[in-house]
Amino acid sequence: MRKIVIATLLLLAAARAAYGTRLKDLVEIAGVRPNHLVGMGLVVGLQGTGDDASSVMTRREMAVMAKRLGMVIDANDIKAKNVAAVMVTAELSPFARTGTPMDVTVSSMGSAKSLVGGTLLLTPLKGPDLGVYALAQGALAVGGFAADGGSGSSAKKNHTTVARIPGGARVEKDAPGTLSRDEVVLLLREPDFTTASRIAGVVNAALGDDSARLRDPAAVTIAIGPKWRGRIVDLVAKLEALDAEPDAVARVVIDERTGTIVAGAAVTLGPAAIAYGAINVDVNENPAVSQPGPLSTGQTVVAPQSQVKVEEQGGKLQVVQGAATVGGVAAALNTLGVKPRDLAAIFQALKAAGALRAELQIL
């Protein structure tokens, strides 16, 4: 029987205990965001683990690459298995300047079996506006291996068709990014009315003059006063260091595939009566050998004999007292001594009965 492991995250503290989180972890600054880059290139130097020699895409890419280097080669004449067509992706940091290094990820696009030992040729990385912002090149770092014995036997560890090049790209064009001279806008990563109000209160307490205004649950605007004119970077650094208490919806997350149950700090439980039971079915097969009699024409056969045993456990109606904290909820449900699969079903039944004061999220 498959075992299910339950991991319950309990925030054991005083009821609704306050805790602070840096604004740097709660918000983003408007106009300061990373940008995704992508490019198509070639990886060479593979030991016969590249794309199939008949791959039209790889042969055309090789012909184009050779033409850039001053060689004219017919794509139909190229037959090599040590080359792979790849897609190169990277993330351009906000305000990245020309010459800044950044990591890139290289992923196979064709039928390559492994990128181990390969080298990425010079590849332009483009943004959504199709402008070239970086150039990537270098030896690949693959966290695994693949070996083929040639007679059908093979060994493989981890994913060998995706690799990384630490610092393998250089920025060739400054990253876009703007900061307003009149205001700083804080964008909440998880929009919430209460959290936005608390952030505005914390900012006003630190800066004074009621400089923080609520635009909506996802944005808090901060006017730049005379003190911070020309010092926007210092202002943002001060804001990021402030602590605010984020609010969260009472939620219980259940992943039935892995048996994981996570309950948030705001989860409460009302009094309820619960009856649960489980049916266990055990099937045992014992092979029995049947031999024919002497001088007979019969054959020896193996006839399996099955034994089926069914047991039903539990079924008693038990009263569970209410709880005002997630720790109390866990203690109340642990008194039932149920298994993870039963506990997931109990949470859903409690929600349907109105005793569980939380949102259920089933993954």
| pLDDT tens, residue by residue, 204-222 | 999 887 889 999 999 999 9
Residue 155 has pLDDT above 70, yes or no: no
Whether pLDDT at 357 is above 80:
yes
Q: Which residue did the predictor score with more confidence, 227 or 165?
A: 165
Are the CB atoms for 13 and 266 separated by under 8 Å?
A: no
CATH architecture entry for 21-32+178-244 = 2-Layer Sandwich (3.30)
Q: Reply yes or no on whether the pLDDT at 276 is more than 80.
A: no
Does residue 274 sit in helix, strand or coil? strand
Residue whose entry in the numeric block shows the structure tokens 């045992």: 284
pLDDT confidence band for 350 (50 / 70 / 90): confident
What is the value of pTM for the model shown? 0.68
Angle, in degrees to the nearest 10, between helices 232-240 and 193-207: 120
Higher pLDDT, 314 or 183: 183
**Lowest mean pLDDT across 126-140, 156-170, 283-297:** 283-297
| Phi–psi pair at 33, nearest 5 degrees | -155, 150
Asked if the model's pLDDT at residue 245 lies above 50, the reply is: yes
User: Where, residue-wise, is CATH 3.30.1360 in the chain?
Assistant: 21-32+178-244
Residues whose CB is less than 8 angstroms from the CB of residue 231 and which lie 6 or more positions away in sequence, other chains included: none
The burial class, CB within 10 Å (0-12 / 13-18 / 19+), for 61 is buried
The pLDDT tens digits of the residues spanning 284-324 come to 556 666 666 666 666 776 665 656 565 555 555 566 666 66
Residue with tokens 């300061």: 32
Tokens of 305: 């004999």
* DSSP-derived 3-state class of residue 308: strand
For residue 25, pLDDT beyond 50:
yes
Q: Check if the beta carbon of residue 320 is closer than 8 Å to that of residue 336.
A: yes
pLDDT of residue 152: 56
- Whether residue 45 is predicted with pLDDT greater than 80 in this model: the reply is yes
pLDDT (0 to 100) of residue 8: 36
Running DSSP on this structure, what letter comes out for residue 352?
Answer: H
Residue 243 or 350, more confident: 243
26 vs 11, more confident: 26
Amino acid at 343: L
Tell me what the pLDDT averaged over the chain comes to.
Answer: 79
pLDDT value, residue 248: 83
pLDDT value of position 68:
81
pLDDT of residue 170 exceeding 90? yes
